[in-house]
């Protein structure tokens, strides 16, 4: 449709559009369309001989000043409801449609189509399948459920195509029906000779498919586009049997399945027998098995790292090729691809990648050989899907750079069409030996026209609705959640159970070991108790014997007690006679108490007299101590005065004047006059 806004997922001419090679969130889509909305037309008018178009964001677009003749009888009208700009002059009208205004957002323009009225959306949004809706109020934009990651909408059934099962036939499915398919994917595909390749080309043409076998120019364009350096973009060269470019091969090769490079040996003048031996060429650096000579010198790393890094997701696999006799060559070492460009009918250009090269081989080979095939489709900004149905098979695709067109869509796996009705001439790479098959899982949703596919990636889950006898009874349906774990589809409940068992098994084993230890301890305790019981039984028997003996002794004692009772009666009688003696003793005790009391009173009087005498004596001693203290203080004062007098008389300086013969002695006291002594003497002449 021409009257539409096209949203470019990877490249957009609009400022503010977010370009990314993955799905967009609803917020990102809204932000981009806000940018587009600002460029919608608000009004069109004439001002000073100019056509002025005012956008919603306030921008004014004007024409250059035009002459009066040019605008004479020029009528301009703009229908805000339909978004149509009409310019009429001299009876001739020209309409410019497709403008978006607030009045026509969400409108539908009916168009007659046979017996039905087909609604044509005036404003459409083109996306790559990651979004649903058309941006109108009745069908707002949203993320496609089949494109979401993590937890998907439930599916009706798991269909294992590896066991021959197939998706339901078209009449039995309805829009929205979803199934999970289990598929074995062989990315190596098949090897075709040129006759088989021609059959594929014709089958694509008959199906009006946009896919085609890439020509040499298609390959050259893509290979030159992936080369990082402009000086290495020489893949358009027409020479044969020549490695071209520098890094394209490394960037396109898959990370796995390629033969490992072997280190080159050291040259004759650099013998390396072990890591610690020095080269005989005289270099000081020790040898290493991964180093050898280059141009006659030692210690240059000759092994270059040509391993693939699969930068773009092209995932070229080393399927090798087969000659006319079906001898399989270079499996695991090289990947050979046909181009649609042949030379002299029996020969055609090929492109090949090698395990020990980062560049790409271009050659011309006989069309009787069997090689891998990739397909290409032009990219128009809206037709890229991660998986596409090509001639009945589903292939993953990748958006590759193109110098001529910006991007082109390539299959990211080799073609594997095995429909014998098309007369395809093909063989399995390496005769089918050593091929790597990958089990993958795809959600398939019928949209009313085709199956929309989405791969369930590792770690993602999907619920499978398993109905009982009555499929319409929602209450009797089992909803089982499955998750892809390490490329295996597992029941999440079983996974959780196994994880729980794995976590609690050590604990259970520890408990069991503890129980075993307890059982051993219980057995030992039982044995000990049994032994102890036997010992107790023996002691019980001994005790019983003792009791019997005691009983006999008690019987004898009872007879003795009867005898002793009589003795007690006699003793009581004697005790009665002693009461008078006790009364006499009490009287003696009372008399002794009275005597002791009198004696204590006499002693107290003597103690009081001694206390009074001691107090008087202490007062006399205190008086003598005071008198002695006074004498001591007087003596200290006298001594201090005497010391001061002596100190003042102390000589502190002696000065002799040899000219006058006077000796002056100074004393310490300031008020004491110095003493002067005059000496008369003559010592003669010296």
Q: pLDDT tens across 209-240, in order?
A: 999 999 999 999 999 999 999 999 999 999 99
CB-CB contact of 1 with 121 (8 Å): yes
Distances (CA, A) of 601 to 369, 552, 614: 151, 66, 21
Domain match, 205 and 257 both: yes
Q: Which of 258, 261, 260 is nearest to 331 (CA)?
A: 258
Is 328 within the bounds of a domain?
A: yes
Domain match, 235 and 139 both: no
Q: Can you spell out the DSSP letters for 450-465?
A: SEEEEE--TT-EEEEE
Higher pLDDT, 659 or 524: 524
**Local structure of 20: helix, strand or coil:** coil
The enclosing H or E element of 653 equals: strand 651-657
- What's the confidence (pLDDT) of residue 503? 84
| Average confidence (pLDDT) over 101-106 | 55
- What's the confidence (pLDDT) of residue 512? 84
- What's the confidence (pLDDT) of residue 8? 43
- What's the confidence (pLDDT) of residue 113? 41
Number of structural domains the chain divides into? 4
Taking every pair of Cα atoms in the chain, the longest distance, rounded to a whole number of angstroms, is 174
The enclosing H or E element of 678 equals: strand 675-678
| Half-sphere exposure at residue 8, Cβ-oriented, CA atoms within 13 angstroms | 16
Is 684 within the bounds of a domain?
A: yes
User: Beta strands 360-366 and 376-378: pairing type?
Assistant: unpaired
pLDDT band at 9 (very low <50, low <70, confident <90, very high): very low
Decide if pLDDT at 143 tops 70. Answer: no
CB-CB contact of 409 with 383 (8 Å): yes
- What's the confidence (pLDDT) of residue 108? 39
pLDDT per position as a tens digit, 146-170: 555 456 788 999 999 888 898 998 7
pTM of the full structure: 0.45
> Lowest-confidence range among 130-134, 241-245, 460-464?
130-134
**Local structure of 405: helix, strand or coil:** coil
- What's the confidence (pLDDT) of residue 402? 94
**% of the chain exceeding 90 in pLDDT:** 23
- What's the confidence (pLDDT) of residue 160? 92
Domain match, 282 and 323 both: no
Higher pLDDT, 387 or 262: 387
Q: Note the Cα 682 to chain centre separation in Å.
A: 118
Burial of 52 (0-12, 13-18, 19+ CB in 10 A): middle
| Average confidence (pLDDT) over 175-203 | 89
Which range, 18-22, 200-204, 646-650, has the best average confidence (pLDDT)?
200-204
pLDDT band at 281 (very low <50, low <70, confident <90, very high): very low
Domain match, 211 and 124 both: no
> Lowest-confidence range among 314-323, 450-459, 676-685?
676-685
User: Beta strands 393-402 and 406-411: pairing type?
Assistant: antiparallel
Domain match, 91 and 232 both: no
- What's the confidence (pLDDT) of residue 274? 44
pLDDT band at 4 (very low <50, low <70, confident <90, very high): very low
Sheet holding 406-411, edge to edge: 376-378, 406-411, 393-402, 387-390
User: Beta strands 488-491 and 651-657: pairing type?
Assistant: unpaired
CB-CB contact of 221 with 248 (8 Å): no
Decide if pLDDT at 100 tops 70. Answer: no
Q: Which of 253, 276, 303 is the last residue of a domain?
A: 303
Domain match, 23 and 64 both: yes
Is 220 within the bounds of a domain?
A: yes
pLDDT per position as a tens digit, 464-490: 987 555 555 544 567 888 988 888 899
- What's the confidence (pLDDT) of residue 190? 92
Higher pLDDT, 2 or 45: 45
- For residue 308, the 8-state DSSP code is -
| Average confidence (pLDDT) over 245-268 | 80
Decide if pLDDT at 283 tops 80. Answer: no
Domain match, 287 and 315 both: no
Domain match, 51 and 139 both: yes
User: Beta strands 438-446 and 426-427: pairing type?
Assistant: unpaired
In the block, tokens 């051993």 appear at 520
Tokens of 493: 């409940």
Q: How far apart are CA 179 and CA 156, in angstroms?
A: 6
| Average confidence (pLDDT) over 542-562 | 81
| Half-sphere exposure at residue 586, Cβ-oriented, CA atoms within 13 angstroms | 6
**% of the chain exceeding 70 in pLDDT:** 72
| Average confidence (pLDDT) over 283-304 | 43
Q: How far apart are CA 176 and CA 297, in angstroms?
A: 69
Quote the domain boundaries for residue 685.
649-686
pLDDT band at 71 (very low <50, low <70, confident <90, very high): low
pLDDT per position as a tens digit, 348-403: 999 999 999 999 999 999 999 999 999 999 998 888 988 888 886 778 899 999 99
Q: How far apart are CA 17 and CA 6, in angstroms?
A: 12
Domain match, 106 and 241 both: no
Domain match, 232 and 352 both: yes
Q: How far apart are CA 244 and CA 224, in angstroms?
A: 10
Residue 101 phi, psi dihedral angles, 5° rounding = -135, 165
Is 552 within the bounds of a domain?
A: no
pLDDT band at 98 (very low <50, low <70, confident <90, very high): low
Is 72 within the bounds of a domain?
A: yes
- What's the confidence (pLDDT) of residue 240? 92
| Average confidence (pLDDT) over 534-558 | 84
Higher pLDDT, 91 or 383: 383
Domain match, 275 and 357 both: no
Is 377 within the bounds of a domain?
A: no
pLDDT band at 303 (very low <50, low <70, confident <90, very high): very low
CB-CB contact of 23 with 150 (8 Å): no
Tokens of 397: 């695709």
pLDDT band at 72 (very low <50, low <70, confident <90, very high): low
- What's the confidence (pLDDT) of residue 632? 82
Is 318 within the bounds of a domain?
A: yes
**Local structure of 516: helix, strand or coil:** helix
Tally DSSP H helices, then E strands, for the chain. 7, 36
pLDDT per position as a tens digit, 305-355: 789 999 999 999 999 999 999 999 999 999 999 999 987 668 999 999 999
Q: Which of 266, 12, 44, 226 is nearest to 125 (CA)?
A: 12
CB-CB contact of 252 with 222 (8 Å): no
Q: At what angle do helices 492-577 and 579-648 cross, to 10 degrees?
A: 110
Average pLDDT score over the chain: 76
Is 135 within the bounds of a domain?
A: yes
Domain match, 48 and 106 both: yes
């Amino acid at each position: 449709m021409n009257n539409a806004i096209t949203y470019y997922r990877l490249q957009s001419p609009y400022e503010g559009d977010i370009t990314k090679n993955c799905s967009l969130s609803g917020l990102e889509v809204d932000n981009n369309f806000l940018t587009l909305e600002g460029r919608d037309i608000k009004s069109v008018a004439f001002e000073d001989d100019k056509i002025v178009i005012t956008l919603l964001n306030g921008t004014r677009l004007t024409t250059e000043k035009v002459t009066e003749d040019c605008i004479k009888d020029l009528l301009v009208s703009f229908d805000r409801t339909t978004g149509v700009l009409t310019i009429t002059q001299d009876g001739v009208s020209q309409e410019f449609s497709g403008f978006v205004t607030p009045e026509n957002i969400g409108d539908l323009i009916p168009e007659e189509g046979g017996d039905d009225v087909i609604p044509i959306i005036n404003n459409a949004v083109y996306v790559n399948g990651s979004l649903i809706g058309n941006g109108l109020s009745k069908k707002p934009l949203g993320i496609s459920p089949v494109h979401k990651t993590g937890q998907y909408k439930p599916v009706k059934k798991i269909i294992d195509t590896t066991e021959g099962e197939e998706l339901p036939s078209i009449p039995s499915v309805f829009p929205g029906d979803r199934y999970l398919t289990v598929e074995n994917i062989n990315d190596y595909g098949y090897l075709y000779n040129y006759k088989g390749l021609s059959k594929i080309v014709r089958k694509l043409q008959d199906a009006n498919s946009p896919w085609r076998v890439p020509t040499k120019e298609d390959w050259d364009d893509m290979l030159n586009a992936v080369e990082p350096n402009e000086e290495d973009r020489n893949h358009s060269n027409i020479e044969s049997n020549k490695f071209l470019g520098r890094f394209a091969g490394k960037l396109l090769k898959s990370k796995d399945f390629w033969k490992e490079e072997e280190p080159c040996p050291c040259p004759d003048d650099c013998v390396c027998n072990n890591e610690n031996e020095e080269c005989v060429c005289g270099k000081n650096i020790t040898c290493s098995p991964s180093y050898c000579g280059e141009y006659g010198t030692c210690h240059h790393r000759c092994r270059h790292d040509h391993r693939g890094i699969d930068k773009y997701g092209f995932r070229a696999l080393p399927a090798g090729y087969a000659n006319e006799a079906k001898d399989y060559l270079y499996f695991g070492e090289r990947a050979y691809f046909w181009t649609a460009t042949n030379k002299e009918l029996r020969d055609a250009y090929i492109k090949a990648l090698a395990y020990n090269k980062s560049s790409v081989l271009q050659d011309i080979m006989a069309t009787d050989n069997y090689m891998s095939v990739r397909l290409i489709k032009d990219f128009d900004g809206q037709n890229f899907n991660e998986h596409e149905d090509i001639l009945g098979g589903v292939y993953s695709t990748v958006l590759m750079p193109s110098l001529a067109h910006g991007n082109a869509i390539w299959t990211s796996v080799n073609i594997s069409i095995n429909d014998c009705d098309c007369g395809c001439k093909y063989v399995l790479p390496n005769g089918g030996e050593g091929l790597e098959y990958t089990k993958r899982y795809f959600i398939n949703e019928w949209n009313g026209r085709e199956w929309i596919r989405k791969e369930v990636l590792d770690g993602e889950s999907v619920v499978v609705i398993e109905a009982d006898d009555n499929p319409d009874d929602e209450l009797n349906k089992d909803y089982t959640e499955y998750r892809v774990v390490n490329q295996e589809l597992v029941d999440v409940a079983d996974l959780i159970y196994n994880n729980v068992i794995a976590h609690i098994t050590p604990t259970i084993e520890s408990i069991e070991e503890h129980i075993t230890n307890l059982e051993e301890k219980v057995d030992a305790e039982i044995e000990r108790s049994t032994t102890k019981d036997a010992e107790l039984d023996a002691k019980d028997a001994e005790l019983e014997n003792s009791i019997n003996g005691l009983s006999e002794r008690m019987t004898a004692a009872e007879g003795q007690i009867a005898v002793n009772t009589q003795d007690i009666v006699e003793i009581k009688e004697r005790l009665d006679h002693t009461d008078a003696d006790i009364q006499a003793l009490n009287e003696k005790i009372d008399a002794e108490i009275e005597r002791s009391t009198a004696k204590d009173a006499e002693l107290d009087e003597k103690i009081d007299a001694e206390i009074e005498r001691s107090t008087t004596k202490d007062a006399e001693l205190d008086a003598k101590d005071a008198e002695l203290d006074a004498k001591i203080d007087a003596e200290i004062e006298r001594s201090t005065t005497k010391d001061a007098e002596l100190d003042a008389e102390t000589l502190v300086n002696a000065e002799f004047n040899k000219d006058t013969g006077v000796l002056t002695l100074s004393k310490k006291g300031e008020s004491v006059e110095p003493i002067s002594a005059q000496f008369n003497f003559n010592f003669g002449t010296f």
